[in-house]
């Protein structure tokens, strides 16, 4: 069942050594481009505006006590970006970062999410904008260094010889 309301509050979120545990995804897809009689697939990632509308980032939020790490990442991505998909591979990494608004440290983890569905209605539709862009554009507009690192890891993973892009 799809929830159209975001979870709120921090009373049921996980903490480790005083740090709030934050998880999210870098949603991605392949856009087929045709140039001069050749067809190639361009990697696009989905960024969202911050809740206060100042800057762009990838969907992320608090890991709740009743969720697995992957479940929390999928829920946050659905709530904030309105997309569903398949988590691909292990987490992209783990970062320690300082909250800009509260000045406290968090531990952030990110996953790669191959998007299979983009919803017209989602819980934070009225609070955020979502924009598909190429990797270079996303790296420029993303306001968090640790998310830029996660994006670089995703690109390395997707362009490695072991990873084969399969058309659906």
Residue 138 within any structural domain of the chain? yes
Helix (H) or strand (E) holding 112: strand 105-118
Token pair for 143:
């306001």
* Chain Cα centroid distance, residue 140: 16
pLDDT band at 165, cuts 50/70/90? low
Q: Is the pLDDT confidence value at 135 over 50?
A: yes
Residue 3 within any structural domain of the chain? no
Residue 63 is classified by DSSP as P
Residue 56 within any structural domain of the chain? yes
- Global pTM reads 0.83
Contact 28, 112 (CB under 8 A): yes
**What domain count does the chain have?**
1
Range of the domain at 98: 15-159
Residue 6 within any structural domain of the chain? no
Residue 165 within any structural domain of the chain? no
Q: Is the pLDDT confidence value at 76 over 80?
A: yes
Residue 9 within any structural domain of the chain? no
Q: Output the domain CATH number for residue 37.
A: 3.90.79.10
Q: How many Cα atoms are found within 13 Å in the side-chain-facing hemisphere of 1? A: 3
- Residues 145-154, mean pLDDT to the nearest whole number: 94
Residue 55 is classified by DSSP as S
Residue 7 within any structural domain of the chain? no
């Amino acid at each position: 069942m799809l929830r159209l309301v975001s979870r709120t509050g921090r009373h049921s979120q996980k903490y480790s050594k005083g740090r709030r545990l934050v998880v999210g995804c870098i949603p991605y897809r392949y856009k087929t481009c045709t140039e001069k009689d050749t067809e190639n697939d361009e990697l696009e990632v989905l960024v969202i505006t911050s809740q206060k509308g100042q800057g762009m980032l990838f969907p992320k939020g608090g890991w709740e006590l009743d969720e697995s790490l992957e479940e929390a990442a999928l829920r946050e991505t659905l709530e904030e970006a309105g997309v569903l998909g398949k988590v691909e591979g292990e987490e992209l990494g783990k970062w320690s970062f300082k909250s800009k608004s509260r000045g406290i440290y968090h531990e952030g983890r990110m996953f790669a999410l191959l998007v299979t569905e983009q919803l017209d209605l989602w819980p934070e539709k009225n609070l955020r904008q979502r924009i598909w862009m190429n990797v270079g554009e996303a790296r420029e507009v993303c306001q968090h260094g640790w998310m830029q690192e996660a994006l670089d890891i995703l690109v390395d993973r997707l362009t490695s010889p072991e990873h084969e892009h399969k058309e659906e």
